[in-house]
């Protein structure tokens, strides 16, 4: 078993150095050649440069401009049913588990330092010219929304204030304010503005916030003092205020001066605010050819919103599926690719909240979509330090579609490595203006954080292929720029997505043997993972892990029948063979299987509301638990061997199908993220019952 990892994955790169190239998987070579020759990383990057000019906040004028740009490109590429669908967002309307957030627009945001004036309370809103003359004239400007929109934290409100600056450190604890008078002043904090506003503004009366919050904690965290991170205030906080984001370098200089006793006076003027608006979702299709199957859809998804420039996150994902749309439409029109049986849909929403609005307000789309190819950050070049991932789905939704993407990714890995090592390859997938290094796409366990969470939530149950970069040292900063995007990476991501989506759109009974070959390999990988986990777990309290692995295989096979009805005839022998394979590989990660206690409760998720409970800038569970007087379940703060509370909670709800009892759910999430006490799972399920998300089966 120890050598299996090399055989399955490491052997991929050993083969890459040989002169003999592997044949493409799943699709005829003529189809692969057509895709490889037509997909253009340069075309994708030119579109990215256009989108990255825009500050694309939810419901904003900048987002609308980006939506119009995408729609215009799609029409130019020959897609005929392009639409921008509006979904009202006013802070009151719910789309499943998402409380709609009002649109937010900004027109002005300037932060100045000046001397010789007394601090004042917030006054009336300055005119547009006020920040460029009058009190601020001739003084030092620290931040300008016009120059860099990222400096103004999202959800800042219109304000005109002159005030002293006070350093309160992190700003998230009351002790940070001990002995400091911040009333009517602007606080300097290291945390995100939203994490401090209720304390700083609501409790202690601060007039505004200046934050130097750093980027996500990767190996490069805090390394570049010039990065300015995208900032957020809490959308639904009653303590409305303004917040500016500054670099670590600027903050260090301000802190040093304050530490010496110097008084720093700031003038902040903002013209911005929330207002009723719309989530806008751009969508179009390439209609399917089969009269019986054209109402089924394979979707390509991204998220179009983000701060400017937001190049890798996530202009890259959107322009890559835009390039897939151009390529497939062109090749089908030219007869180089057959029109697939199923319809292919392209979706460009605001992240998570737009997808929830789309699927809840238009349930007919949710019913049609059989699988999704989701792209969120797929173009990071060498400067970003990005690692490209093909991320599998959650164990709560086993599906063969993830293995389809893996097959194409491994084939691109092999060809791109062969080209880098020898200068020769049949399909190097290199863009003329891009890099030549190998892709090395990593097939990763399920990770959360983008729209794929929505599709694969149990209320929708749509398997999603997730292509993404992580880490990326420039994510959510002013340096996430088009200059750091590699056209070769865009081309390769486009190929993996296009090939996967096109295969699934045309998949039928003719493809059964090739698909089952993938699943046999999946069985070996599952056994290897089980072996690895068994070696890592030193002690736990028992559980039916082996049976869970069998429960994974059955729906995995059944997922094929959604695409090929004749798979019913092959399903059961395959399961028997897989079952024998797993049974011969040990006792499971927790040792001997224990009997499930009688009376262990069984829970079933209700049909409404639909969507994950922790969504973007709104926590459905926390909001409804507070109203119901439910204390925070311990599971939400739990840390396992391979997962954290949010992941455990997501999967516990996915497994609450009315068939598994709480012990079986506990065993399932233990196999995925590491052992967790059953009482924590029961406590969470009972909390879900109290807020009306699940019901107990008596």
> In sequence order, what DSSP letters do the residues of 475-541 get, joined into one string?
TTBTT--GGGB-HHHHHHHHHHHHHHHHHHHH--GGGHHHHHHHHHHHHHHHHHHHHHHHHH-----
Q: Is 546 left (phi over 0), alpha (psi -120 to 50) or beta?
A: alpha
In a domain, 617, yes or no: yes
How many CA atoms lie within 13 Å of 580's alpha carbon, on the beta-carbon side?
Answer: 6
Tell me how far CA of residue 684 lies from CA of 98, 636, 644, 670, in angstroms.
Answer: 20, 8, 14, 15
The token pair that represents 71 in the structure block: 């729609």
In a domain, 33, yes or no: no
The domain boundary, picked from 258, 275, 292, lies at: 275
Return the closest-CA partner of residue 477 out of 148, 188, 47, 142: 148
Residue 592: per-residue pLDDT? 36
Confidence of residue 617 (pLDDT cuts 50, 70, 90): confident
Confidence of residue 11 (pLDDT cuts 50, 70, 90): very low
Structure confidence by residue, pLDDT tens digits, 261-298: 999 999 999 999 999 999 999 999 999 999 999 999 99
Return the closest-CA partner of residue 93 out of 84, 83, 102: 102
Structure confidence by residue, pLDDT tens digits, 29-73: 999 999 999 999 999 999 999 999 999 999 999 999 999 999 999
Tell me how far CA of residue 645 lies from CA of 346, 540, 602, 614, 631, in angstroms.
Answer: 33, 18, 21, 11, 15
- Output the average pLDDT for the chain: 88
The DSSP bridge pattern shows strands 369-376 and 297-301 to be: parallel
Please give the residue range of the domain that contains residue 400: 40-100+279-505
Same domain, 244 and 356: no
Return the closest-CA partner of residue 501 out of 353, 302, 670: 302
Distance CA 579, CA 561 (A): 19
Residues 176-182 have a mean pLDDT of 97
In a domain, 16, yes or no: no
Q: Are the CB atoms for 677 and 610 separated by under 8 Å?
A: no
Q: Are the CB atoms for 160 and 124 separated by under 8 Å?
A: yes
188: phi then psi, degrees, rounded to nearest 5: -100, 120
Residue 463: per-residue pLDDT? 97
Q: Please check the confidence at residue 587 and state whether its pLDDT lies above 60.
A: no
Same domain, 214 and 259: yes
Same domain, 121 and 61: no
Same domain, 306 and 445: yes
Q: Are the CB atoms for 156 and 177 separated by under 8 Å?
A: no
Residue 22: per-residue pLDDT? 82
How many other C-beta atoms can be found within 10 angstroms of the C-beta atom of residue 123? 10
In a domain, 69, yes or no: yes
Same domain, 171 and 48: no
In a domain, 224, yes or no: yes
- pLDDT higher for 618 or 84? 84
Q: Please check the confidence at residue 4 and state whether its pLDDT lies above 90.
A: no
Sign of the torsion formed by the C-alpha atoms of 240, 454, 408 and 581? positive
The token pair that represents 191 in the structure block: 């945390």
Residue 616: per-residue pLDDT? 75
Distance CA 562, CA 568 (A): 10
Confidence of residue 6 (pLDDT cuts 50, 70, 90): very low
Q: Please check the confidence at residue 637 and state whether its pLDDT lies above 90.
A: yes
Q: Please check the confidence at residue 121 and state whether its pLDDT lies above 50.
A: no
Distance CA 681, CA 543 (A): 14
Structure confidence by residue, pLDDT tens digits, 194-225: 999 999 999 999 999 999 999 988 999 889 99
In a domain, 20, yes or no: no
Distance CA 541, CA 177 (A): 45
Helical ranges in 4-83 per DSSP H: 4-5, 11-16, 29-38, 41-51, 61-76
Same domain, 146 and 288: no
- pLDDT higher for 462 or 126? 462
Q: Please check the confidence at residue 106 and state whether its pLDDT lies above 90.
A: yes
- pLDDT higher for 313 or 532? 313
User: Any long-range contacts for 420-427 (C-beta under 8 Å, 24+ apart)?
Assistant: 421/16, 421/17, 422/17, 422/19, 424/19, 425/21, 426/21, 427/21, 427/24, 427/32, 427/33, 427/36
Q: Please check the confidence at residue 164 and state whether its pLDDT lies above 50.
A: yes
Confidence of residue 388 (pLDDT cuts 50, 70, 90): very high
What percent of the chain has pLDDT above 90? Answer: 76
Separation of first and last alpha carbons in the chain: 43
Residues 493-517 have a mean pLDDT of 94
Using DSSP's 3-state secondary structure scheme, residue 618 falls into: strand
Confidence of residue 569 (pLDDT cuts 50, 70, 90): low
What CATH number should be reported for the domain holding residue 55?
3.40.630.10
Residues 315-328 have a mean pLDDT of 98
Structure confidence by residue, pLDDT tens digits, 370-387: 999 999 999 999 999 999
In a domain, 232, yes or no: yes
99: phi then psi, degrees, rounded to nearest 5: -75, 120
Q: Are the CB atoms for 136 and 144 separated by under 8 Å?
A: no
- pLDDT higher for 571 or 249? 249
Q: Are the CB atoms for 457 and 397 separated by under 8 Å?
A: no
- pLDDT higher for 130 or 655? 655
Distance CA 479, CA 527 (A): 42
Same domain, 81 and 167: no
The domain boundary, picked from 275, 293, 317, lies at: 275
Same domain, 80 and 116: no
Same domain, 346 and 483: yes
Most confident of 19-23, 185-189, 523-527: 185-189
DSSP per-residue string spanning 176-212 = GGTT---TTSEEEESS-HHHHHIIIIIIT--SEEEE-
Same domain, 419 and 317: yes
Residue 459: per-residue pLDDT? 97
Pick the range with the lowest mean pLDDT from 158-172, 385-399, 454-468, 525-539.
Answer: 525-539
For residue 43, what are the contacts with CB-CB under 8 A and spacing of at least 6?
323, 326
Residue 3: per-residue pLDDT? 33
Pick the range with the lowest mean pLDDT from 30-44, 564-578, 645-659.
Answer: 564-578
Q: Please check the confidence at residue 124 and state whether its pLDDT lies above 60.
A: no
94: phi then psi, degrees, rounded to nearest 5: -105, 140
What CATH number should be reported for the domain holding residue 218?
3.50.30.30
Q: Please check the confidence at residue 434 and state whether its pLDDT lies above 50.
A: yes
Residue 139: per-residue pLDDT? 81
Same domain, 451 and 303: yes
Distance CA 21, CA 15 (A): 8
Residue 531: per-residue pLDDT? 52
In a domain, 141, yes or no: yes
Total number of domains in the chain: 3
Identify the helix (H) or strand (E) that includes residue 443.
Answer: strand 442-444
Q: Please check the confidence at residue 13 and state whether its pLDDT lies above 50.
A: no
Distance CA 529, CA 234 (A): 40
Q: Are the CB atoms for 229 and 68 separated by under 8 Å?
A: no
The domain boundary, picked from 275, 302, 320, lies at: 275
Same domain, 319 and 450: yes
């Amino acid at each position: 078993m120890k050598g299996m990892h090399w055989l399955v994955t490491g052997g991929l790169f050993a083969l890459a150095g040989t002169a003999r190239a592997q044949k493409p998987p799943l699709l005829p070579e003529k189809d692969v050649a057509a895709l490889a020759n037509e997909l253009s990383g340069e075309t994708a990057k030119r579109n990215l440069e256009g989108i990255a000019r825009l500050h694309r906040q939810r419901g904003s004028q900048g987002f609308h401009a980006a939506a119009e740009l995408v729609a215009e490109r799609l029409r130019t590429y020959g897609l005929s049913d392009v639409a921008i669908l509006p979904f009202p967002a006013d802070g009151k309307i719910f789309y499943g588990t998402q409380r709609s957030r009002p649109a937010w627009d900004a027109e002005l945001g300037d932060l100045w330092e000046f001397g010789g004036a007394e601090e004042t309370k917030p006054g009336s809103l300055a005119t547009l010219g006020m920040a460029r003359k009058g009190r601020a004239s001739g003084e030092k400007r620290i931040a300008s929304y016009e120059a860099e929109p990222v400096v103004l934290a999202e959800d800042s409100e219109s304000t005109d204030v002159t005030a002293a600056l006070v350093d309160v450190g992190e700003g998230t604890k009351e002790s940070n304010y001990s002995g400091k008078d911040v009333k009517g002043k602007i606080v300097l904090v290291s945390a995100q503005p939203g994490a401090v506003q209720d304390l700083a503004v609501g409790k202690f009366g601060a007039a505004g916030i200046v934050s130097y919050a750093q980027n996500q904690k990767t190996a490069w965290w805090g390394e570049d003092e010039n990065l300015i991170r995208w900032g957020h205030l809490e959308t639904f906080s009653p303590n409305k205020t303004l917040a500016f984001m500054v670099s670590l370098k600027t903050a260090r200089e301000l802190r040093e001066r304050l530490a010496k006793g110097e008084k720093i006076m700031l003038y902040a003027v903002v013209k911005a605010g929330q207002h009723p608006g719309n989530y806008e979702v751009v969508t179009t299709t390439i209609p399917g050819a089969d009269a019986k199957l054209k109402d089924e859809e394979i979707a390509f998804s991204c998220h179009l919103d983000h701060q400017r420039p937001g190049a890798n996150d996530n202009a890259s994902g959107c322009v890559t599926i835009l390039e897939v749309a151009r390529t497939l439409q062109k090749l089908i029109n030219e007869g180089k690719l057959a029109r697939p049986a199923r319809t292919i849909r392209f979706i460009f929403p605001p992240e998570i909240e737009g997808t929830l609005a789309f699927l809840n307000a238009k349930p007919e789309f949710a019913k049609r979509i059989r699988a999704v190819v989701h792209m969120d950050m797929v173009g990071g070049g060498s400067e970003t330090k990005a690692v490209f991932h093909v991320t599998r789905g959650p164990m709560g939704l086993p599906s063969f579609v993830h293995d389809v993407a893996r097959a194409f990714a491994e084939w691109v890995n092999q060809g791109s490595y062969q080209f880098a090592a020898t200068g020769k390859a049949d399909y190097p997938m290199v863009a003329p203006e891009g890099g030549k290094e190998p892709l090395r796409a990593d097939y990763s366990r399920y990770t959360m954080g983008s729209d794929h969470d929505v599709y694969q939530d149990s209320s929708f149950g749509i398997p999603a292929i997730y292509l993404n970069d992580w880490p990326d040292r420039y994510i959510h900063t002013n340096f996430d720029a088009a200059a750091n995007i590699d056209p070769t990476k865009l081309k390769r991501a486009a190929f993996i997505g296009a090939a996967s989506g096109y295969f699934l759109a045309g998949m039928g009974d003719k493809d059964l043997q090739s698909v089952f070959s993938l699943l046999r390999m999946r069985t070996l990988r599952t056994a290897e993972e089980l072996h690895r986990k068994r070696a890592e777990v030193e002690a736990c309290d028992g559980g039916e892990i082996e049976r869970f692995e069998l429960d994974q295989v059955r729906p995995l096979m059944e997922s094929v029948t959604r695409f090929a009805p004749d798979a019913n005839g092959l399903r059961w022998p395959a399961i028997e063979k897989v079952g024998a394979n797993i049974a011969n590989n040990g006792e499971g990660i927790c040792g001997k299987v224990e009997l499930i206690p009688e009376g262990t409760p069984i829970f079933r998720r209700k049909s409404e509301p639909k969507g994950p409970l922790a969504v973007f800038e709104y926590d459905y569970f926390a909001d409804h638990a507070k109203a119901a007087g439910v204390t925070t379940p311990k599971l939400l703060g739990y840390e396992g061997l391979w997962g954290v509370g949010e992941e455990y909670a997501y999967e516990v709800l996915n497994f609450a199908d009315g068939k598994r009892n709480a012990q079986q759910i506990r065993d399932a999430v233990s196999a995925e993220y590491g052992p967790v006490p059953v009482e924590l799972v029961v406590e969470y399920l009972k909390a879900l019952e109290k807020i009306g998300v699940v019901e107990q089966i008596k």
